Each structure stands twice: as C-alpha cells, then as structure tokens.
Amino acid sequence: MDRPRKVGAKWTNTHIAADEKIETFELDYDGKRDRWNGYDATSYALVVERYESRDEARKKFLKEQQLKKLEGKNNNPNGEDKVSDVDEDEDEDEDDLRVDEAKVDESKQMDFAKVEKRVRTTGGGSTGTVRNLRIREDTAKYLLNLDVNSAHYDPKTRSMREDPLPDADPNEKFYGGDNRYRNSGQAMEFKELNIHAWEAFEKGQDIHMQAAPSQAELLYKNYQVIKENLKSKTKDTVLEKYGNAANEEEFPRELLLGQSEREVEYDRAGRIIKGQDIALPRSKYEEDVYVNNHTTVWGSWWKDHQWGYRCCKQVTRNSYCTGAAGIEAAEAAADLMKANIARKEANGDMPAPVEEKRPATWGTDIPDDLVLDEKLLAEALKKEDGRKREERDERKRKYNVKWNDDVTAEDMEAYRMKKVHHDDPMKDFLN
C-alpha cells in the first residue's frame, strides 16, 4: 500500500523489500469451520498488558487527585478550624483511597456494565452503548451442568442453545437454553414481522424491514386486521348457508342410534293395528310423481324381463295410461294369439322343428352340416390352456419346438371360446 516511487527500486538499488509470500493451507471440513482458526494465544499477553497499564494509570490518577486535595487544604488561610478540617480531610482521604477495581466493577454492575464503544457508521464515528445484561451473581451457563455430553456451550459467542438441565424442575431453574428465549415472547412476533415483510416485498410492495421498520409494522398490523375480518366474514357465510349444528337442539335418540322403543303391532295382512308406522326416509329425487294420467310410477310392474306401469300394465315408458280398458285389451290380444297358434298346430301348418346342434362361434362362412365333436373340443380346450400358460412364461418354452400347422374346427372353436374380449366387463375375473 506504499506510494509508487518515481524511480523503481531495480534502478536505484535502494529500499529493496522481500517478495510477498502467500501461504496456502489444506484444511479439512472441521478446519474450515473452526472459529478459532488463525488465533494466536501469545497475543493475549498484549491484552493483559493493556489492562494492567490501565489499572496503573487509574491508581496514579487517584493518588494525584488526593495529593492536590491535601495541598489545597494545607494552604487554607483560615486556621481556626484547622484541627477539625484535618480530621475530616483524613476521613475523606481514606474513603477516596478505598476506591479500587472492585468498587469500580460494582458501580458498573448497577448500570449493567455500561460500556462506551466507538461504532463505525457511514457518516463517521459515533459512540454507542453496549450493556451486558447478565448479573455477576448469577451462575455462568457453562457451570450449570459440567457433563461433557450435556448442552453444547460456545465460548466465543457465549451461547448455549439447548437446555443444560432438561430433567430439573421447571419451576426451580431460571435458565432453559437460548432457544427458549428465541422461540418465545416478542421474538416470535419479530420473526413473523420479518417474514411478512419478505413475502410482501416478493409480491411487489415497496417495504423493507431495516429501511422503514415503522412502515413495515403498520402494514403488518393492517394485514392482521384484514385477515381477521376476512376469516370472520367467511365463517358467517358458511354458518348462514349450512347452519351451526353446535347451537341447534339435540337430535332425538332414535335418529342418532337408528332404533327406538316404540311398539308397533301389525295384523296378518300387514296393516297397523297399534302404534305408528316408521316413516321411510326420502331421497333427493322426486318421488310419487305420476305423469300422463298414470296412478303408479314407472317400474312398479315387471313381466317377461321388462319394466312397466302397474295401473295399465304397459311396458312403454311415458305412454298415456289406458287404465282397466287397456289391461282387458292386452289380455284379449294375448288370448287371440294363443288361439291362432293352437289352430295352426291343429291344421299342420307349423314348420317342422329343427334339430338343435352346437353352432360354431368362429368364422362367418360356417357350413350347415358342421358338427363339433365334444371329446375333441375338450382336448382342444386343454391344449389352448397349455398354450396360454407357455405364453405367460416364455422361460419354460423349449428350444426345439415342433408346431402342428393343422387346425381343426375344434381347435378354432377352443381358440374363440378362450379368447379374451377387451370390451367384456368380466374379463378381469376370468383368471
């Protein structure tokens, strides 16, 4: 950092300094994070020497003050009360001489060790006050529990985050770790205030906790008020729409448990003789809605795999009800059809019955005289099952495999019967 020379040292051969030596250290993981790395223990002797010189200067200053007071009293022209003045002066001198380092420390303790310290700022130096809030009579943190495996104590920052006495009575111990103070009281409020300032800045608001703390705190209070109002408004809306079950009357016991002790007596026909019938629960759909002059609903009648209306026995939905006349007409038509069939059978006009044979399910061009052998079909089904098992496990397939290309009608029928159709809803239950 020296001023550049007008003529270099290599030309004048004067003030030649040694080259700078930059040392590099290969440190491990712990060495890079060691907060005492580079500290020289011998430099502490300078600290001791500085404090000793300060103590000597303080003692010398006190003696000089005492000597000045004594000289001023000796030169006092009033000699009448000289004896009494001398006695008082001697007492004051003794009191002043008792001022030592211990008394200075005690006076500082009354003000929580007030220390005037020079603080560097952008506008220049200023004097700040640093206070040590620990009372000297209290036990130090590292002396609360001397167990090595207890809470860790950092001597440089004088911090012990965990509780050194976790098993002690909480009513008796006065110190529970630094984390106890960090996570309680106004510390949590300050953390929430900082987090709100960060989130608001990320969302576009011009807010900074360090630059304008009052503005940040005011915005945070307004945010809390708006949040509470919104929460209460949402709660009122939900209660207005769905009601509050906590404020309503209790439900009857029979509704809660699904049963009651009410006695109902029926006759053999199912009619109620004594008591009141249990009301059936109603669904959210419309019930007992009769359309087109019907007196019953659709689905109240079933015949030949078809649903219909019981009032008129029609299977066409949304048809107009014909009542008893429609039922008589349908019965007359059925009787007429049976009479025509009996007449044709008597005259011999009915076609000859066709012998039932097992139709094949494969192919489109099936010959009329195709008849499947049941034994060959059973063998083909077993063969198809074995082929599918081999397809599922290719490792069991041999190297030299001889395939028979002759496909019979039974083989095709077995293949079609065992084939899985993707649109079959029961395909997952076949295996």
Task: Quote the CA–CA distance of 67 and 74 in Å, as a whole number.
Answer: 11
Q: Where are the domains of the chain?
A: 297-352, 374-429
Task: Quote the CA–CA distance of 162 and 415 in Å, as a whole number.
Answer: 76
Whether the CB-CB separation of 177 and 163 falls below 8 Å is answered with: yes
Strands 124-130 and 265-266: unpaired
Tokens 């929580």 correspond to what residue? 112
Helix, strand, coil in percent for the chain, rounding step 5: 45, 5, 50
pLDDT at residue 174, as a whole number: 81
Task: Quote the CA–CA distance of 130 and 126 in Å, as a whole number.
Answer: 13
pLDDT at residue 51, as a whole number: 93
Mean pLDDT by 10 residues, the chain (431 residues): 82 82 83 86 89 93 90 72 54 53 48 53 55 72 89 89 89 86 85 93 90 92 95 93 77 64 81 76 78 87 87 87 87 89 79 55 62 85 81 65 72 81 71 58
Give, in order, the Cα–Cα distances in Å from 38 to each of 33, 41, 43, 155, 371.
12, 10, 11, 16, 103
pLDDT at residue 404, as a whole number: 65
pLDDT at residue 102, as a whole number: 47
Q: Count of CB atoms within 10 A of residue 45's CB?
A: 10
Angle at the Cα of 66 from the Cα atoms of 65 and 69, rounded to 5 degrees: 90
The kind and range of the H/E element at 382 are: helix 374-392
Angle at the Cα of 371 from the Cα atoms of 370 and 377, rounded to 5 degrees: 120
Q: How many alpha carbons fall within 13 Å on the CB side of residue 271? A: 2
Nearest Cα to 370, choosing from 411, 427, 335, 409? 409
pLDDT at residue 414, as a whole number: 85
Nearest Cα to 408, choosing from 368, 357, 362? 362
| pTM over cut 0.85 | no
pLDDT tens readout for residues 154-208: 988 889 999 999 888 888 888 888 888 888 888 888 999 999 999 999 999 889 9
Tokens 């003000």 correspond to what residue? 111
Residues contacting 329, CB < 8 A, separation 6+: 322
pLDDT tens readout for residues 385-424: 887 777 766 666 666 666 666 778 888 888 888 877 777 7
